[in-house]
C-alpha cells in the first residue's frame, strides 16, 4: 500500500516556524515554494522577530587616521561557533565599495567609500541581499550616519519604515563655539530635512559609531560627555560619563553598547574592567553593575592575559594601547589584546579567542569601525 507524504498545515507552520532561528529558517526555505513564500511574507517575518535573535557577530572595517581615503576591506566575525571563520564577502552584493556605519535588527547602514564621484547612503539586508540607495545631502567623510529602525514600534507588515540621522559638527555664527546639528531622513516621505535642534558642544565626535537604544541615539565625544539625540521628539542633550578621565593615571579605554534596552558604558583602566548602565540621561545618573580588577581579570583568563597592568603602563604613550575596547552588545564585549581579537562574557567572566588582526584584512588596523550584527529576514523590497 502506497503511503501518503504528510505536510503540516499553514496554520501549524505559522505557529511553529516563527519560533525557529533565522539561520534554521534559511535552510527550510528550500523545502518547497510554499514554505519559501510563507517565510517571505511580511506578517510571518514580523512574528518571527519576536523571537529575539541572539547576536550573530561583528563587522570590522579598518580605518585610516590621517588620510582622506577610506579603507574598503570589510570583515565579518561570527561568534556562534567555537571555531571562528572570518568572512570577507558578506556585503559584496552592493554596487560599489562602501564604509559600514550602523546596524539594527538585521539591516545595515553604510555609505560610499571615498574618493567617490557621487557618494550615496545604502540601507541593506545581507541575508536576502536587498538594498535601498538614498541621496546623501552634503556628503562628508567626517559625517556620522546612523540608522533608526525598530520593527516593534513601526511594524513591517506592509512597509519597512526607518529613519537615517546624520550628525554634523559646526560652529555657531555668534560666539564661534562648536555645535552639533542633525539631518533626518524618513523612508515614509523619502525626504531629508534639517532638524531645528542644535547641541552646543566644544568636543569632537569619537570615531566609535553610534548606539541606538529604544530609539534614542548616543555618540561618544573626546571630552567627558556623551551626545544624545531623540529623533522622534528632536531633543538633544549632553550626558556626563560615569568617571571623568582626570580620575585616571592612564588614559582609559571605553566603548558604549546596548543590552536589555539600556545604554551601557564599558571602561578598562588601571582600576580594572567596569560596566556601567545609564539610569537617567537628564541627570547623568549611572549605576556600576560589574567590576573586576586587572589582577582578577588576568587570573580568570591567564591563558590570554599576562602582566596586564605592566603592559598598559608601558604602552600608555604609544598611541596603540595593549588592550582596546571595540564594541559591546547584549553583555558581550569585543576586545583587542595586542594583535588578537577576543570575546569577553560578563556573565561568566571568561574570554574566548576569535581571530588575529591579520585574519581581518591584508593590512591590520588598530583603529577600526566595529558594528554588532544580528541576522533577520526583514525585507526592503
What local confidence, expressed as pLDDT, does residue 142 receive?
A: 84
**Homologous superfamily assigned to 49-373:** Kelch-type beta propeller (2.120.10.80)
What local confidence, expressed as pLDDT, does residue 313 receive?
A: 82
Instruction: Report the C-alpha gap between 186 and 335 in whole angstroms.
Output: 34
Query: Residue 127 has what DSSP assignment?
Result: T
What local confidence, expressed as pLDDT, does residue 6 receive?
A: 41
Contact 74, 92 (CB under 8 A): no
Query: Residue 87 has what DSSP assignment?
Result: B
CA-based R_g, the chain, Å: 22
Instruction: Report the C-alpha gap between 168 and 147 in whole angstroms.
Output: 15
Local structure of 24: helix, strand or coil? helix
Q: Using one digit for the tens of pLDDT, what is the confidence trace for 118-177?
A: 999 999 999 999 999 999 999 988 889 999 999 999 999 889 999 999 999 887 655 667
Residues 6+ apart with CB under 8 A from 327: 58, 255, 257, 333, 334, 370, 371, 372
What angle is formed at CA 122 by the lines to CA 117 and CA 127, rounded to 5 degrees? 135
pTM of the model: 0.91
Contact 197, 244 (CB under 8 A): no
Instruction: Report the C-alpha gap between 160 and 139 in whole angstroms.
Output: 25
Q: What does the domain layout of the chain look like in residue ranges?
A: 16-48, 49-373
What local confidence, expressed as pLDDT, does residue 259 receive?
A: 96
| Class of residue 146 by CB neighbours under 10 A (exposed 0-12, middle 13-18, buried 19+) | buried
Q: Using one digit for the tens of pLDDT, what is the confidence trace for 36-61?
A: 888 888 888 888 888 778 999 999 99
Q: With residue 108 as reference, give the H or E element that holds it.
A: strand 107-112
Sheet holding 57-62, edge to edge: 74-78, 57-62, 368-373
The segments of the chain whose pLDDT lies below 50 read: 1-6
Amino acid at each position: 500500500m502506497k503511503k501518503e507524504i504528510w505536510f503540516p498545515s499553514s496554520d501549524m507552520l505559522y505557529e511553529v516556524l516563527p519560533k525557529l532561528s533565522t539561520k534554521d529558517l534559511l535552510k527550510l526555505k528550500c523545502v518547497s515554494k510554499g514554505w519559501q513564500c510563507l517565510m517571505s511574507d511580511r506578517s510571518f517575518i514580523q512574528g518571527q522577530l519576536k523571537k529575539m535573535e541572539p547576536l550573530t557577530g561583528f563587522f570590522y572595517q579598518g580605518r585610516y587616521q590621517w588620510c582622506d581615503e577610506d579603507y574598503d576591506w570589510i570583515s565579518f566575525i561570527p561568534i556562534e561557533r567555537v571555531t571562528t571563520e572570518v568572512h570577507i564577502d558578506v556585503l559584496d552584493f552592493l554596487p560599489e565599495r562602501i564604509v559600514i556605519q550602523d546596524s539594527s535588527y538585521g539591516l545595515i547602514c553604510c555609505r560610499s567609500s571615498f574618493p567617490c564621484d557621487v557618494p550615496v547612503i545604502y540601507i541593506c539586508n545581507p541575508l536576502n541581499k536587498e538594498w535601498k540607495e538614498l541621496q546623501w545631502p552634503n556628503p562628508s567623510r567626517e559625517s556620522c550616519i546612523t540608522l533608526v529602525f525598530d520593527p516593534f514600534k513601526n511594524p513591517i507588515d506592509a512597509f519597512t519604515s526607518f529613519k537615517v540621522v546624520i550628525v554634523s559638527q559646526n560652529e555657531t555664527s555668534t560666539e564661534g563655539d562648536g555645535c552639533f546639528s542633525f539631518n533626518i531622513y524618513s523612508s515614509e516621505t523619502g525626504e531629508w530635512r534639517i532638524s531645528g535642534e542644535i547641541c552646543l558642544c566644544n568636543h569632537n565626535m569619537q570615531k566609535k559609531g553610534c548606539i541606538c537604544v529604544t530609539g534614542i541615539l548616543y555618540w561618544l565625544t573626546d571630552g567627558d560627555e556623551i551626545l544624545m539625540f531623540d529623533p522622534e521628539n528632536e531633543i538633544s542633550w549632553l550626558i556626563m560619563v560615569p568617571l571623568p578621565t582626570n580620575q585616571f593615571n592612564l588614559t582609559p579605554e571605553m566603548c558604549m553598547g546596548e543590552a536589555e534596552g539600556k545604554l551601557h558604558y564599558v571602561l578598562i583602566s588601571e582600576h580594572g574592567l567596569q560596566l556601567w548602565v545609564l539610569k537617567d540621561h537628564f541627570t547623568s545618573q549611572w549605576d556600576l553593575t560589574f567590576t573586576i580588577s586587572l589582577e582578577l581579570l588576568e587570573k580568570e583568563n591567564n591563558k590570554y592575559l599576562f602582566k596586564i597592568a605592566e603592559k598598559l603602563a608601558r604602552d600608555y604613550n604609544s598611541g596603540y594601547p595593549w588592550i582596546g575596547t571595540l564594541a559591546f552588545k547584549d553583555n558581550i564585549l569585543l576586545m583587542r589584546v595586542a594583535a588578537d581579537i577576543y570575546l569577553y562574557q560578563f556573565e561568566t567572566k571568561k574570554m574566548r579567542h576569535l581571530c588575529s588582526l591579520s585574519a581581518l584584512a591584508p593590512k591590520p588596523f588598530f583603529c577600526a569601525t566595529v558594528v554588532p550584527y544580528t541576522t533577520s529576514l526583514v525585507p526592503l523590497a
